[in-house]
Amino acid sequence: MFTGIVEEIGSIEDIKNGEKSSKLIIRGNKVLEQSKLGDSICTNGVCLTVSKLDSNKFEADVMAETLRKSNLEILKVGSKVNLERALSLQTRLGGHIVSGHIDGLGEIISLEKEGNAVWVSIKTSPDILKYIVYKGSIAIDGISLTVAYVDEEMFKVSIILHTSKQTTLLNKVVGESVNLECDVIGKYVEKLLGLSNKIQQVKESSINEDFLKVNGFL
């Protein structure tokens, strides 16, 4: 588990692409302190397992499902990435609970400066938007942020100067993709209440008021 408080910005040193998977060699410093083989490091919001370790870099395998769900596939040598070690019992939970399991991608549609902050607007799919709530938490490329606006097509966050310096988000431009992980609480509530099944049943049912009228029942 992670907090969404980025510890440092790392860089991609090398990429070894397989037929349906990849190996990433990532350069970093702080996140490698006290890290060991098998540890988890959140990379642009994706939980990666350390498979090889050096004094200033680590290697991680990226499976096909991760490549499909995230923007790791578009990384290049030299790309900057947000890095965070897994939290410990001594860690202050300054952000929110982040699993490192990406729900999907969003697209930056605008960047607007306002005073000492920048509004970032992100478009994403209805399947992800349904979990995003006003003043709730969301992880964007592994950064814990508060939702400041949401509608049926997009949402917005406001980035302060400190966050812009400590993360890669404002280095992106309009049209670039970001990894999104919604707050896990909403997903558990939906599962426990069976809401997703009920919604699907409603969608699949062809019997509605119009059907009943046409067939003489109303």
**Mean pLDDT in residue range 90-114:** 91
> Would the pLDDT of 210 be above 80?
no
**Mean pLDDT in residue range 83-111:** 91
58 three-class SS: strand
Mean pLDDT of all residues in the chain? 90
Task: Give yes or no for a contact between 159 and 169, defined as CB atoms under 8 angstroms apart.
Answer: yes
pTM exceeds 0.95: no
**CATH architecture observed for domain 104-202:** Beta Barrel (2.40)
Q: 151-180: b or e for each residue (b if 16 or more CB lie within 10 Å)?
A: eeebbbbbbeeebeeebbbeebeeeebbbb
Which position has the higher pLDDT, 207 or 5? Answer: 5
Q: What is the pLDDT of residues 8-52, one digit of tens each?
A: 999 999 999 988 899 999 999 999 999 999 999 999 999 999 999
* CATH for 8-85 (2.40.30.20, 3.40.50.300, 3.40.50.1390, 3.40.309.10): 2.40.30.20
Note whether 8-85 and 104-202 share their fold: yes
Domain boundaries, the chain: 8-85, 104-202
Q: What is the pLDDT of residues 143-177, one digit of tens each?
A: 999 999 999 999 999 999 999 999 999 999 999 99
Amino acid at 189: V
Angle, in degrees to the nearest 10, between helices 184-193 and 195-204 = 60
